[in-house]
Amino acid sequence: MHPGFIGGIIGCGIGLAGGILGTYCSIKNTNGPRERAFMIKASAVFWIVGIIFISLLLVLQSPYKWFLWLPYSIFLPISIHFANRRLTQIKQDEAQDL
């Protein structure tokens, strides 16, 4: 087997394990039920979008798959920003309810 192929498989496995661990820790470290519910929904959306993105990269022909990076690189940071703002708002609301 080609060493690059083996490295690609190992790298994908490490990346997937890191994503799963990060998702687990993000959900585990929540403080309240609303915060936990939001993190579960947000994690599911980010996982689905990521899987769709990678699938399209593997399926589309060469010139078109490079165009996927433009909307992905714009919308991912914006989505993360809004998710973090919403999470902060939920934390503040739950702190006031105590």
Above pLDDT 70, what percent of the chain?
99
Cβ-contact 72, 53 below 8 angstroms: yes
Instruction: In whole angstroms, give the CA distance from residue 83 to residue 46.
Output: 10
CB 35 within 8 A of CB 94: yes
- In tens, the pLDDT along 7-19 reads 999 999 999 999 9
Domain ranges of the chain: 3-97
Name the pLDDT band for 38 (thresholds 50, 70, 90).
Answer: very high
Mind listing the pLDDT tens digit for each residue in 24-35?
Answer: 999 999 988 999
Q: If 0-12 CB within 10 Å is exposed, 13-18 middle and 19+ buried, where does residue 64 land?
A: exposed
